[in-house]
Structures are given as C-alpha cells and as structure tokens.
Amino acid sequence: AQSVTQLDSQVPVFEEAPVELRCNYSSSVSVYLFWYVQYPNQGLQLLLKYLSGSTLVKGINGFEAEFNKSQTSFHLRKPSVHISDTAEYFCAVRPKTGANNLFFGTGTRLTVIP
C-alpha cells in the first residue's frame, strides 16, 4: 500500500523569500514521485517528476525537488517565490509495478504575501 503525507496544510511566505513544501511517503514497492500544482479554479498541472537518475530534479517555474530514499521524502523548494506561485501543491506517488494509480497527498496551500 502507498500513502503520501504533506505535513503542512498551509504555508504563508513573503514574496521573494525561499520556500520548502514537505512531502513524505510510504510504500511497500518502489515508486515514481510527482509534484502537481493547482492554481485557483484550474486543473492540476505537472510541476516536476522523479523517475530515475539524479535525485535533484528541476521543474517549471523555478521549482526543484530532491528525492531522499532513506528518508522517503520528496520535498519541493523554490529559492525566491512570486505572487503568482500562490496555489495548492500536491505531492503524489505511483508504484513502479502493479497498479498505475497516482496516490496523492492532501495538498499544501502556498500563499505568497506581497
């Protein structure tokens, strides 16, 4: 079974400050990892993904995430946020074998304060 935990339901941060959104997962099998972003009243958009290789992955809009297998984490970071980054961020995993479901965390609401 898989589960994803996003410890922070809301993260307020001032504009141009750095931000880290935390994601931890548990799984009995190896997984692929994803971050999706949901802007207000819009669908989910893929931000970045980790499939294999380098554990530091870069995504769109200046975001990056680092896969840490020993800590089963995939935290999302951005060195300097903008107002336009205000959105809901979802961490998700998908098993490498078996069912191809995406399992989502409960989301983190990032609010960038001017």
Q: How far is the CB of 73 from another protein (least distance, A)?
A: 20
Least CB distance to another protein at residue 59 (A): 12
Q: Which is nearer to another protein, 17 or 46 (CB)?
A: 46
State which residue, 36 or 74, has the beta carbon closest to another protein.
36
Which of 11, 63, 9, 8 has the alpha carbon at shortest distance from 34?
A: 63
Residue number, 47 or 112, with CB nearest to another protein: 47
Count of CB atoms situated within 10 Å of the CB of 34: 25
Sequence-ordered list of residues with C-beta below 8 angstroms from that of 6, at least 6 positions apart, any chain = 21, 22, 23, 89, 90, 91, 105, 106, 107, 108
Binding region for another protein (CB under 8 A)? 34, 36, 41-46, 49, 88, 90, 92, 99-102, 104, 106-107
Min dist. Cβ of residue 87 to another protein (A):
12
38 strand-pairing partners: 44, 88
Judge whether 77 and 60 are in contact, CB under 8 Å: no
**Nearest distance in Å: CB 70, another protein:** 25
State which residue, 81 or 92, has the beta carbon closest to another protein.
92
